[in-house]
Structure 1
Amino acid sequence: MPGIIEILLKIAPLITVVLVLIRFNITTTNKTLIDLLLTPKNNRDWDDFLEIISVSLVLVFALNILNLIIDYSLVTNAIQNWLILLNFILLIVTSLFILVCWIFSLFGKRIQLKIINIALFTNLGSIMFLSLINTTLNRKYLIDLVDTKQNSKLLIILGVLFGFYVTLFYIFRILFKAFNKPRVHAYKIEKIPVNHVEELLKELFFIYLLDSERHILSKYPVNRKDVTLPVYVYYPKENSLVKFKKD
């Protein structure tokens, strides 16, 4: 019994981190356009940072720690060498292609955006595959660290990997935004006169609760993810109604 309690105490922090990551990802992936419009920029930047952190943590575990458990004895050295060679070729080709696309963009010439995005995601995938191969090639050394309980070295390696993934995602996010320059939409805000609020509320449908002070309403009964502008935000404490719409 004491042994079980000791094990539970050891894995409790890990379970807590996993649950927090799951909750955070559910919250961020379910955000609608109106949620983003009503969220301050500092909060949005913080959410983006936490999202990259969570994805990086998942990748560290999925591509490296779980890789230590898998037995690769069936994969011959020849196959591994071919995979590494092909991946390096793919990495070099896509990197050169992205560089050429960037140079062309400086002179106002654009290559088809879909091809650029494919090259970006392929390049990212090839870098992550190199990380996977690196763990595979150093599998014996890492397992020895686990067996000899050299936890400080393991933490340093995991920290370096984690920092590598965070930096990698930020770089590719900058590249993606550089090539996929989003069109900036203009939005209008219209405050409904106080004497019309009660009358208009009768025509609107409650969609979801953003928080205790803001209720999201629409002229049509739709699911949260299907909400489109115009959208009404009701502030019950002030009995105030604001309309958001595209210009």
Structure 2
Amino acid sequence: MEFNPTNKVVKLSLQGMNMEEQGKPEEAIKLFLQAWDEATDNLEKFIAAHYIASHQKSVPDKLKWLETALEFAIKVNNDAVKSAFPALYSNIAKCHEELGHAEKAKKNHELATSFKDNPSDKGPFYHGTEADLQVGDLLTPGGSSNYQSELKMNHIYFTALVNGAGLAAALAKNEAPERVYIVEPTGIFENDPNVTDKKFPGNPTRSYRSQSPLKITGEVADWERIPPAELQKWREKLANNKGEIIN
């Protein structure tokens, strides 16, 4: 069960977020409810329930949908959703506080704290680039951002999704062939805060970063390439993105 930007529930959720940005909450909730109706697995149901919860006007209704999202996140129980647990439990606790349920609020605040740990993802991990490198080479922080060329990055980024690394390689600004390397972190790492709990709850792209080098242990020859038209949409989206990169 892997996050896929072409998934129908993901696409409906993105359309709903666009409606939110345009100040059209009624249209947004219709799309999120459609996503819920069309969801067929636990990850899809978790994503849809998360957005429906954010549009509930009453605290009991919000709590119901947050608990529904949590139910399906627990069923998924992988590294794509684990980083969503602190926010889920915290928001559930706030609902209980508003409803006067002191003990339930306390319990959920404690659960929120208990899940604030380092990622448990065991990989394998990948890094996409256009650089020509060899097994044994080290990838280190300090390179230019693919998204803001004037920004020198304090971390080196990687993912547990090979297709995500392939997309990162395709978005690199050089004209060299795209490369996806299998990498091994040499130090501690954290969830990438630029994606975790941003557009989607948790860390569905299993994206991480480290201030320690990544050691190249191999190279992937085959991954799902993004069609040119779709890649152009990604480039345009990044060009129009005015958000600040958390460095």
Give the TM-score normalised by the residue count of structure 2: 0.22
Point out the structure with the larger helix share: 1
Which has more radius of gyration? Answer: 1
